[in-house]
Amino acid sequence: MSDTLLLFLTLDWLARFAIFAVIIFSRPAVGAQGWLALVLVFPIPAILVVLWAFRPLATARRRARFAEARRQLKIARRQILMSQHCSPPQLPAHLVRAAQLIERVNLFPAVGGNNIEALADYQEVIDRLVADIGTARHHVHLTTYIFSDDAVGNQIIAALVAAASRGIECRVLIDALGSYWWSRRIIRKLRSCGITVRRALPVSLTNMEALRPDLRNHRKLAVIDGRLGYIGSQNVISAELPGGQRSKEFVVRVNGPVVLQMQALFANDWFLESGDLLSDGALFPHERSAGAARAQLVAGGPEYRRSVIRLLLDALVHTVEHRLVITTPYFVPDEALLLALEGAAARGVEVCLILPKKGDHRLVDLAQRSFFDRMLEAGIDIHLYHRGFLHAKHVSVDDDLVLVGSMNIDLRSLELNGEAGLLIYDQDTTARLREEEARNIAGSERLVRAEWNARPALARAAENAARLFSPLL
């Protein structure tokens, strides 16, 4: 047998093995579609990727830590519910199931007494966060997917360094891959000033304790003194993007009992990465209510057996009665969510998608556009934002419910990444978000079905080809 034939047969069987592994181990099962497409189109590189990427979603040590973290969350949950300053909210009947769903999976109950500010200006978010870090009395906790070594990153670093010099305990958690290009410099700067920094989900070719490289901590949140929190879509990086675009974000600044849930989530992530248990009572202060808004933290990630964010979106789509608006930079849904959206439109709900006209990933753009025919045919409005890159992630349901956070509408966010969002049961917050949605629509062009259907056949082919890889995006 010639060497060439032997090599061919070896690669052929390796490709077969890779396909078998994809089918057996993909979670969720729909993810196998993208992996199979990758193996069939690029067999040799795909073999190496599959062998490296198909590690467990959680190692034994990480599962043990997560189990311990869950026990600590249960303790924190009891303390929150027992606090005299935590007012159990009375939710409308049609919203109770969504709240119960989150509580059963995440252990976070809906709580009243919160004050919530909507922040849509990029620099205002940075300035407010810097100012709040400057008034910290005990600690500052920050989780971000991207922490860049640019003007914005250095502004946050300066605030943290100043806080640490006053004796404030500062902890920073950055995603190992999202912040890969800057992490060494960022970590060196912060640690030299006494700030504790951890990489979330470190990537390694050789360390089998490292998780799959495609599993990321995509959360963006900050907690100051256990009293004040920020959560939304914005990373620690300049708004200016290559090509002259400017990123548009949406963040909420929160004061009230729900901040304790954000603190508990940070403590959970910190323990998973460091093994250090943050149990100091000063991290979880119980104070008088700051407002009237009802809210509840939602968290998803590879450690959870059930995808609560995915289940929540389904519940919200089936709950909506009049109007549903989804704003997201990446819209690559699965069949179940597509059917739910079509069903909502069919029963008379006004369903609206606000998406960027030009995204930051060409393949995602193409895959996203492959769904437009079906959405338009179902009577769903699509608005493409053209005044920059729309990176905001939020959902509004009728006039009394808002979901704001880090999650995209794609398989990676809904099933794999560590994500965090805030479900807000409040008419005032919903009204403020409606105003932001109106501004985004004013800066968008509305897709017309006839014009969209007239696009070139080559564009359709490229979109459908990209859709094959959509479970990997």
For 304-346, what is each residue's pLDDT tens digit?
777 889 999 999 999 999 999 999 999 999 888 999 999 999 9
Q: Is the pLDDT of residue 417 over 80?
A: yes
Q: Which of 107, 111, 106, 108 is nearest to 85 (CA)?
A: 111
Task: Tell me the mean pLDDT in the region 378-385.
Answer: 97
Please measure the distance between the N-terminal and C-terminal CA atoms of the chain and give it in whole angstroms: 41
Quote the pLDDT of residue 223.
98
Give residue 368's identity as a one-letter amino acid code: Q
Q: What percent of the chain has pLDDT over 70?
A: 82
DSSP structure string for 169-207: EEEEEEETTTTTTTHHHHHHHHHTTT-EEEEES---SS-
Quote the pLDDT of residue 174.
97
Q: What percent of the chain has pLDDT over 90?
A: 56
Q: Is the pLDDT of residue 468 over 80?
A: no
Please state, in angstroms and rounded to a whole number, the distance separating the CA atoms of residues 388 and 241: 9
Quote the pLDDT of residue 139.
97
Q: Is the pLDDT of residue 7 over 70?
A: no
Task: Tell me the mean pLDDT in the region 11-15.
Answer: 59
Regarding beta strands 323-327 and 251-255, do their DSSP bridges make them parallel or antiparallel, or are they unpaired?
unpaired
Task: Quote the strand ranges of 180-309, DSSP E.
Answer: 196-200, 221-224, 228-232, 247-248, 251-255, 293-300
Quote the pLDDT of residue 464.
76
pLDDT in tens, 212-252: 677 889 999 999 999 999 999 999 999 998 878 899 999 99
Quote the pLDDT of residue 68.
83
Give residue 254's identity as a one-letter amino acid code: V
Please state, in angstroms and rounded to a whole number, the distance separating the CA atoms of residues 182 and 177: 10
Q: Percentage helix, strand, coil, to 5, in the chain?
A: 45, 20, 35
Quote the pLDDT of residue 83.
66
* Least confident interval from 72-81, 166-175, 218-227, 264-273: 72-81
Q: Which residues contact 448 (CB under 8 A, 6 or more apart)?
A: none
Q: Helices (H) and strands (E) in the chain — how many of each?
A: 17, 19
Q: The dihedral of CA 390, 396, 402, 408: what is its sign?
A: negative
Task: Tell me the mean pLDDT in the region 176-193.
Answer: 93
- The most confident of 19-28, 37-46, 278-287, by mean pLDDT: 278-287
